[in-house]
Chains A and B, each alone.
Chain A
Amino acid sequence: MGYQMEWGVIADNLPLFWEGLLITLKISAMALLFSLPIGIVAGLCRISRNRILSFIASAYVELVRGIPLLVLLLWIFFVLGRFLRIDSFWAAVLGLAIFSGAFVAEIIRAGIQSVPRGQMEAARSSGMSYVQAMRLVILPQAFRKVLPPLASQFIILIKDSSLASVISVVDLSLVGNNLVATTFRVLEIWTFIAAVYFCITFSLSQIVRYLERKYRVYE
């Protein structure tokens, strides 16, 4: 293979990469922030005794889980965007949050259901209301259990944010695409970008491991 590596292309374009990295971080953080409440509400609705609430939540989870993120993003931008009048950045945040929310909902549901039934019965019989029992007894126990799968989900979310480039969000991967189009240094650019993504997700997983250790004290 007559391809010679020239790493200068990375150094020359650091400001561009930096801008793309900021957008990637911004979009991931926003989507993460929104997907958590969406997921918690949907997860709680799914196990609720209210038939209508649980139906809506199940429909949301099944529908979103069954559509590829790429298609969801394109659909939100090209079809929904026409009525909502949102730009590509917010279309991407919305799409990622809705997508990730469905998986968070399942993680939350599984976490709550893993807490033994007796815990709820004990809390209720000691005079707590359903909401109080949930908040003070069930959720803290569930939280510890959902932490590892939630962390995996957020790492996936950060990686998935690269798909936002198809609707013209100038994130790290679109910066890469554009630089490849002008410099044609494919191997250098994608190696560098892979390393940057890895650094972000690896740092996140270290933070989560720290949290896990911290909460293990109560075991």
Chain B
Amino acid sequence: MKKAIIVMLSFLLLAVTGCSQQAGPEQKAPSTIQKVKEKKKLVVGTGSAYMPFEMKDKQGNFIGYDIDMMTALGKALGVEVEFKQMKFSGLIPALQTGDIDMAVSAMTIRGDRALSVSFSNPYYSTGQVFMVPKADTTTKSWEDLDKPDKKIAVSQGTTGALLAKQIFKQAKVLDFESVPAAAMAMTQGQADGVVTEEVVVREYEQNPSFQTRGIYDLISTDNLGIAVPLNDVETVLWINSFLASYKGSLEDQASIEKWFHSSDWRSEVEKKE
């Protein structure tokens, strides 16, 4: 038994100390923009199924507002764009380890995130709202559901998840791996409400199989940004000047019209009966 404990402790010690290598003196690393131009390819990480920012069409291609913007960015840079789908919570770690060059996933610019990655200027403004089942006709605001027997579903790691944990003092907040899973939990009666982005709530409201109702008083205002590796000033500046010319361009206006003001794209995603 004694031997076993020693083996166990030494493993722990190894785990704790073995990998805490001290990083050497800071080297001047090439910026992401330079690296991307060299390899002629921009790898963009994006979360999954966040309509209408990013989703896959029936052929499996990425489509959505974020995708249009990044495609235009790739064109401005003169490189090929490769989209990599990953879990939203895996985006920032992927940026830190260099698996992706930029992350675009309707990501809110937030102080805690800005300690780990750097953000471009905002490219879109939205906010967190509350969604309840259509059958629930009494709930007027999120405060109505802050009771001990209520459950609120969120997508872990999102702004909505953090917000829900702050504002709901009595209701239980359930973490799911994605917004669709959280919304599904609510539809199946496993949760009483969902906190997520306004645009997403509008999507669910229009989807007949979910039977949800949005409560559109903004709980918080969020500015979405493009995330790049921490302190990569050159890349941030480049993206900002790109956004300055892209936002308000005819291309951007058409993209906004397509994804936010019309529902024609829905037929590209949904299967025909």
Q: Does A114 contact B (CB under 8 A)?
A: no
Q: How far is the CB of A183 from chain B (nearest CB, A)?
A: 8
Stretch at the interface among A41-49, A96-104, A144-152, A193-201: A193-201
Q: Does B174 contact A (CB under 8 A)?
A: yes
Measured CA separation A165–B89 after assembly (Å): 14
Measured CA separation A3–B185 after assembly (Å): 37
Are A177's CB and B89's CB within 8 A?
Answer: yes
Q: Does A50 contact B (CB under 8 A)?
A: no
Given contacts A184-B116, A186-B96, contact A177 B188 (CB under 8 A): no
CB neighbors of A among B147-174 (8 A): 153, 156-157, 161-162, 174
Given contacts A82-B188, A88-B190, A174-B175, contact A3 B97 (CB under 8 A): yes
Are B174's CB and A88's CB within 8 A?
Answer: yes
Contact partner of B175 (CB less than 8 A), chosen from A4, A78, A178, is A178
Residues of the B chain whose Cβ atoms lie less than 8 Å from the Cβ of A7: 16, 20
Are B96's CB and A181's CB within 8 A?
Answer: no
Residues of the B chain whose Cβ atoms lie less than 8 Å from the Cβ of A120: none
Are A186's CB and B190's CB within 8 A?
Answer: no
The total of chain A residues at the interface (CB under 8 A) is 39
SS class, residues of chain A in contact with chain B: helix
Q: Does B135 contact A (CB under 8 A)?
A: no
Measured CA separation A199–B10 after assembly (Å): 11
Interface string of B5-44 (1 = CB under 8 A from A): 0011001100110011111000001000000000000000
By size class, the interface of chain B is: 35 or more
Q: How far is the CB of A35 from chain B (nearest CB, A)?
A: 24
Are B4's CB and A195's CB within 8 A?
Answer: no
Given contacts A4-B23, A78-B184, A168-B153, contact A186 B93 (CB under 8 A): yes
Residues of the A chain whose Cβ atoms lie less than 8 Å from the Cβ of B78: none
Residue of B nearest to A4 (CB): B23
Q: Does B92 contact A (CB under 8 A)?
A: yes
Residues of the B chain whose Cβ atoms lie less than 8 Å from the Cβ of A191: 15-16, 19
Are A178's CB and B156's CB within 8 A?
Answer: yes
Q: How far is the CB of A175 from chain B (nearest CB, A)?
A: 10
- The 30 sampled A-B contact pairs (Cβ below 8 Å) are A1-B97, A1-B98, A3-B97, A4-B23, A7-B20, A79-B188, A81-B188, A85-B189, A87-B190, A88-B190, A166-B176, A166-B181, A167-B176, A168-B174, A168-B175, A174-B175, A177-B156, A182-B157, A182-B162, A184-B93, A186-B96, A187-B19, A191-B15, A192-B15, A194-B15, A195-B15, A195-B16, A198-B8, A199-B8, A206-B1
Give residues in B with beta carbon < 8 Å to A: 1, 4, 7-8, 11-12, 15-16, 19-23, 29, 89, 92-93, 96-98, 112-113, 115-117, 153, 156-157, 161-162, 174-177, 181, 184-185, 188-190
